[in-house]
């Protein structure tokens, strides 16, 4: 972690959970959003820096089709969400990445677009992957309406009634994004273009700014259509009810390999979170204000768990456990002092021994809530210089490489990868949609182009090959003879400075759940209401309860 050397809280080190505890899929698949999540870091910055906001264009017809521009103005730069709203026949509405048309399409423009920019974007953005955007755009995304809720809310508002709170909360959003692309995809500006802008240097800040503005657009759109239909009878959504509306998202396997393909970045996310937890656990006592704040967030977590629905058997069971865990946490708080004797560490250690992983990780997120001053600065450590970790130190003795594997990767060495259930899967890029998928090695073709995501098996193979290199030979000599291990050797050297870089589970095992990887990543984004629709496909909610642009930011002139 780039901030590690200057850590002002050395006493926290003793409380840090080791990688072998944290980097397990079952635990990563139980993470919850926290103060460090990227959505929350983004909104904190916009507020702190007094950004302003203006809807610069609203050119939609009575049915809600047309285009709109939302601009946020920062101290140095402005960014604009450009939205196109389209007619979409019901039978074409699909969240799958194989869809070719959507209810609405978006791009985040770097600055304020001219009419010529908008005309160019209108030729491309609605086509999504089949179009091309440019160095002036920072993201490309699309959304579909929630059929369940959209018509109901339009009808209610058009008839002068507020939508029913329960129905609203049961879905949680009016539109669901089905992909949010950034970083040089489909012609968009390269990541390095924005990497040294403080407001966008953190992970996924451009993409998440897009989503925040899409949420505002979805409310404006539903109110616009209701007003056109209901005329003078129509009402707008009450502010308190409106807050309950987030943006949905459907995500499949496509985003899962990201965490594996960016080991230094994954390390920095994990390390920041673990350091934050350790700092709180290291506190010898808790002030009354902190305890009050903790209790307030605890109550919100209880509400959240009550409203969090899923039909997927795995998540149903996890939610059951989470609700029971929260009840037990409540009992603990009645029974035990939260004041003295390292209260948060005692609480955490009790949870580790008593609760399910869902409950333990919920507590981790809750423990950070009262301590913004202690932990928020860690969000500055959550990006990564991946060029530095790409370099291979060929002068290292080959035996040292083997020692790193033995020190950091025992988890990979104790698996028999010849057993069919331990190598049942393979990751590949689909020719159909150019996105990653998981195949069954023994039933499906294509394993010869397996993506290098079978980290455990490859570590095992590297370790085996290194057995013969016990003399003074260097990594450079080893890799000249064994170029097939180059990718893995790079990862292994990276572990010296990035101990949380590798998921310590077999990613090609028959029982591996891709949704665990998705949940980990989405929790870092700040997503809630994780609702798997299969073992490799998940729905979430973003920005539920967050302020809207016109609430958080001043109106721009």
Q: Pick out residues in 451-510 that bind another protein (CB under 8 A).
A: 452, 474-477, 479-480, 483-490
User: What does 69-128 look like in DSSP terms, one character per residue?
Assistant: EEEEE-SS-EEEEEEEE----GGG---STT----SEEEEEEES---HHHHHHHHHHGGGG
Residues 6-45, one symbol each (x = binds another protein by CB under 8 A, - = not), give ----------------------------------------
Q: What burial class does residue 72 get, using C-beta atoms within 10 Å of its C-beta: 0-12 exposed, 13-18 middle, 19+ buried?
A: buried
Residues 292-321 close enough to bind another protein by CB under 8 A: 311-312
Calpha distance 267→42 (Å, rounded):
20
User: What does 175-237 look like in DSSP terms, one character per residue?
Assistant: EEEEEEEETTGGGPPPHHHHTT-TTT-STTHHHHHHHHHHHHHHHHHHHHHHHHHHGGG--PP
Do residues 129 and 100 touch, judged by C-beta distance below 8 A? Answer: no
CB of 424 to another protein, least distance (A): 13
Residues 248-267 close enough to bind another protein by CB under 8 A: 250, 252-253
CB of 121 to another protein, least distance (A): 15
Applying CB under 8 A, the span of 327-335, 336-344, 370-378, 385-393 interacting with another protein comes to 385-393
Calpha distance 271→382 (Å, rounded):
8
Is position 227 an interface residue for another protein (rule: CB under 8 A)? Answer: no
CB of 458 to another protein, least distance (A): 9
Among 183, 201, 307, 422, binds another protein (CB under 8 A): 183
Do residues 475 and 395 touch, judged by C-beta distance below 8 A? Answer: yes
Q: With respect to another protein, which residue has the nearer C-beta, 117 or 361? A: 117
Calpha distance 362→360 (Å, rounded):
5
CB of 515 to another protein, least distance (A): 11
Among 173, 460, 537, 543, binds another protein (CB under 8 A): 537
Is position 388 an interface residue for another protein (rule: CB under 8 A)? Answer: yes
Residues 143-172 close enough to bind another protein by CB under 8 A: 144, 146-148
Q: With respect to another protein, which residue has the nearer C-beta, 14 or 147? A: 147
Calpha distance 409→414 (Å, rounded):
9
CB of 315 to another protein, least distance (A): 12
Q: Which residue has the tokens 């097939």?
A: 484
Is position 189 an interface residue for another protein (rule: CB under 8 A)? Answer: yes
Do residues 500 and 271 touch, judged by C-beta distance below 8 A? Answer: yes
Among 78, 302, 314, 392, binds another protein (CB under 8 A): 392
CB of 139 to another protein, least distance (A): 13
Structure tokens at 89: 């026949």
Q: With respect to another protein, which residue has the nearer C-beta, 497 or 552? A: 497
Residues 403-442 close enough to bind another protein by CB under 8 A: 428-432, 434, 437-440
Calpha distance 217→210 (Å, rounded):
10
Is position 93 an interface residue for another protein (rule: CB under 8 A)? Answer: yes
User: What does 323-372 look like in DSSP terms, one character per residue?
Assistant: HHHHHHHHHHHHHS-SSSSSHHHHHHHHHHHHS-HHHHHHHHHHHHGGGH
Among 7, 52, 65, 187, binds another protein (CB under 8 A): 187
Q: Which residue has the tokens 């600055």?
A: 111
CB of 460 to another protein, least distance (A): 16
CB of 533 to another protein, least distance (A): 4
Cβ-proximal residues to 386 (8 Å cutoff; 6+ apart), any chain: 262, 264, 265
Applying CB under 8 A, the span of 11-19, 38-46, 140-148, 265-273 interacting with another protein comes to 140-148
CB of 68 to another protein, least distance (A): 24
Residue count, binding to another protein (CB under 8 A):
71
What are the CA-CA distances from residue 71 to residues 74, 79, 152, 183, 226 (Å)? 10, 6, 29, 20, 24
Residues 96-125, one symbol each (x = binds another protein by CB under 8 A, - = not), give xxx---------------------------
Calpha distance 434→233 (Å, rounded):
48
Among 5, 76, 90, 166, binds another protein (CB under 8 A): 90
CA neighbor of 329 nearest in space, from 342, 338, 340: 338
């Amino acid at each position: 972690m780039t901030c590690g050397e200057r850590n002002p809280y050395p006493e926290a080190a003793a409380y840090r959970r080791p990688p072998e505890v944290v980097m397990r899929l079952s635990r990563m698949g139980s993470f919850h959003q926290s103060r460090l999540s990227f959505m929350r870091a983004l909104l904190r910055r916009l507020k702190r820096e007094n950004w302003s906001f203006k809807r610069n264009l609203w050119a939609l017809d009575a049915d809600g089709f047309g285009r709109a521009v939302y601009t946020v103005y920062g101290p140095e730069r402005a960014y604009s969400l450009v939205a196109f709203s389209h007619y979409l026949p019901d039978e074409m509405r699909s969240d799958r990445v194989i869809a070719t048309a959507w209810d609405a399409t978006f791009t985040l423009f770097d600055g304020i677009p001219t009419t010529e920019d908008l005309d160019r974007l209108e030729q491309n953005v609605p086509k999504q992957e089949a179009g091309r955007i440019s160095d002036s755009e920072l993201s490309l995304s699309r959304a579909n309406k929630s059929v369940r809720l959209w018509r109901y809310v339009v009808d209610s508002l058009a008839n002068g009634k507020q939508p029913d709170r329960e129905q609203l909360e049961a879905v949680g959003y009016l539109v669901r994004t089905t992909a949010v692309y950034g970083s040089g995809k489909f012609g968009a500006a390269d990541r390095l273009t924005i990497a040294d802008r403080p407001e966008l240097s953190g992970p996924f800040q451009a993409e998440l700014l897009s989503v925040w503005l899409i949420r505002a657009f979805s409310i404006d759109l539903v109110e616009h259509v209701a007003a056109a239909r209901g005329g003078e009878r129509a009402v707008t959504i009450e502010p308190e009810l409106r807050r309950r509306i987030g943006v949905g998202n459907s995500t499949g396997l496509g985003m899962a390999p990201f965490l594996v393909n960016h080991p230094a970045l994954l390390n920095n996310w994990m390390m920041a979170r673990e350091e934050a937890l350790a700092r709180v656990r290291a506190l010898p006592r808790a002030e009354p204000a902190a305890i009050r704040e903790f209790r307030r967030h605890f109550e919100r977590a209880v509400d959240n768990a009550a409203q969090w629905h899923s039909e997927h058997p795995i998540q149903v069971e996890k939610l059951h456990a989470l609700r029971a865990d929260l009840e037990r946490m409540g009992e603990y708080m009645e029974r035990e002092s939260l004041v003295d004797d390292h209260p948060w560490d005692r609480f955490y250690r009790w949870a580790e021994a008593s609760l399910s992983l869902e409950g333990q990780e919920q507590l981790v997120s809750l423990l950070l809530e009262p301590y913004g001053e202690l932990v928020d600065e860690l969000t500055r450590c959550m990006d990564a210089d991946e060029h530095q970790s790409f370099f291979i130190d060929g002068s290292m003795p080959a035996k040292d490489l083997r020692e790193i594997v033995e020190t950091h990767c025992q988890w990979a060495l104790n698996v028999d990868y010849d057993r069919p259930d331990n190598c049942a899967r393979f990751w590949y890029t689909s020719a159909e949609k150019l996105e990653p998928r998981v195949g069954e090695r023994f039933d499906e073709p294509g394993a010869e182009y397996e993506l290098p995501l079978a980290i455990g098996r490859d570590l095992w193979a590297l370790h085996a090959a290194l057995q013969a290199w016990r003399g003074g030979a260097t990594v450079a000599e080893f890799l000249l003879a064994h170029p097939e291990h180059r990718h893995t050797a790079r990862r292994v050297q990276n572990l010296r400075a990035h101990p949380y870089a590798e998921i310590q589970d077999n990613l090609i095992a028959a029982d591996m759940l891709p949704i665990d990887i998705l949940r980990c990543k989405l929790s870092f984004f700040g997503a809630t209401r994780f609702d798997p629709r299969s073992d490799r496909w998940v729905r979430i909610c973003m920005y539920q309860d967050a302020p809207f642009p016109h609430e958080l930011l001043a109106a721009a002139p």
